Amino acid sequence: MTGRAGGPGAAGGAAAGLGAAGGEARSPTWHAALPYRNPAELEVAACQFAEDAAKAGAALLVACDSPSLRAMRDRLDSIAEDVTWADSSGPGTNPGRMIHAISRFAARHADRPAWCLQEAAWPSRPDDEVWEVIRYEALMNLALDSEGVRVLCPYYSGLPSAVMSCAQATHPLTAVEGRWVPSQDYQGMDGQPAVPARCEEPLPPPPGDARVTSFWDDLARVRSVVSADARAAGLSASRAGDLVLAVGELIANTRAHTSGPGSLAQWATPDQVICEVRDGGQITDPLAGQLRPAPAQPGGGRGLWVVHQLCDLVQVRSGPAGTAIRVHMRLG
């Protein structure tokens, strides 16, 4: 997760239909933002997308975490020949799973086009999750293989104006009067992600009552503290075990890839348990943890990917001054 150039947890291989983009010439990514004003507008556009997918012989993945898309399930099922639904524990729960979910879907349908309809930002979604959605929308442009994957992302126009502006800046295409046109506000180019500055702002400091532990040698003690505090806050035994495993991956990578101790802060809110690991390393691969590394990949690289699969939200901030990774587990 942290420490070395390229970032432990960086995914090296490309799954069918997706891959890490370099600086080579490539056709524009088909990744479109769909601003909509009301459910009727969304239904028309989503159904047209599903019909087009069926005509193209494409497999269609619908991430139905948003209330809007869930309400349209019967309609979409009736007009698309092959629709796969991601349930509420799928890619929309943790925005950091979005790229892997589409990669896995494309790999399962390597013999034909793979299309995806996903609404990952909606008005009732917490602010910190929405901004992580924007981050991964930008990074998706590095991972998408435009030859076989199309991704349509609806955005309700009632979202904050800053979110709507960033949606246009992170999508190469946008909807204008029923047509897909290049977004004039798109900021990505030359194989570089257009991650908005808002997504790179430092995380707010832990609260004053957070338990802060420095670690280096006694990792078993750190895991024990995480487990005890998580259970005391109300996490189930299985969820507390997942959190311990996630934090264990983070602190083990601090040991493996940095030369100094790290720190762990842990605290609880009325609805979640939060842990934050900080160290002096730097992640330089923007897609670290997004695509599952091959088993034989040199250097491992599974740690941050595992953390994303286990936790409800993962926030990564990394630069020359060090790395902070904050993981959230919801109560209930």
pLDDT digits (tens, 9 = 90+) for 89-121: 555 579 999 898 898 899 899 999 999 999 999
Q: State how far the Cα of 193 lies from the Cα of 1, in Å rounded to an integer.
A: 20
d(CA 102, CA 137): 12
Burial (0-12, 13-18, 19+ Cβ within 10 Å), 274: buried
Considering only residues 238 and 1, tell me which one the structure prediction assigns the higher pLDDT: 238
User: Residue 21: pLDDT above 50?
Assistant: no
pLDDT score, position 194: 81
Task: Say whether domain 211-330 belongs to CATH 3.30.565.10.
Answer: yes
Q: CA torsion 92→11→200→33, rounded to 10°?
A: -50
Query: Quick one: CA dihedral 15, 16, 22, 28, positive or negative?
Result: negative
pLDDT band at 25 (very low <50, low <70, confident <90, very high): very low
Q: Please list the residue range(s) of the chain that carry CATH number 3.40.50.300.
A: 31-189
45-49 contacts, C-beta under 8 A, 24 or more apart: 45/152, 45/154, 45/175, 46/72, 46/76, 46/117, 46/152, 46/154, 47/72, 47/75, 47/76, 47/79, 49/115, 49/117, 49/152
pLDDT band (50, 70, 90) for residue 145:
low
296 falls in which pLDDT band (50, 70, 90)?
low
Which residue intervals of the chain bear CATH 3.30.565.10?
Answer: 211-330
Rg of the Cα atoms in the chain: 20
φ/ψ (deg, to 5) at 132: -70, -35
Amino acid at 318: S
Least confident of 1-5, 146-150, 280-284, 316-320: 1-5
Q: What is the pLDDT of residue 301?
A: 64
Supply the DSSP string of 81-99, one letter for each residue: SSEEEE-TTSTTTSGGGHH
- The proportion of the chain whose per-residue pLDDT surpasses 70, expressed as a percent, equals 85
List alpha helices for 174-314, DSSP H.
Answer: 219-233, 237-257, 303-310
Provide the residue count of the chain.
Answer: 332
The average pLDDT across 74-99 equals: 78
Looking at the domain that runs over 31-189, which CATH code has it been given? 3.40.50.300
Task: Tell me the pLDDT tens digit for each residue of 161-211.
Answer: 999 999 999 999 999 888 899 999 998 776 667 899 999 999 999 999 999
Indicate the pairing of strand 59-63 with strand 114-118: parallel
Contacts of 162 (CB under 8 A, 6+ apart): 198
Nearest of 149, 148, 152, 192 to residue 171 by alpha carbon: 152
Give the alpha-carbon dihedral of 316, 129, 188, 153, to 10 degrees.
150
pTM of the model as a whole: 0.85
How would residue 17 be classed by pLDDT, with cut points 50, 70 and 90? Answer: very low
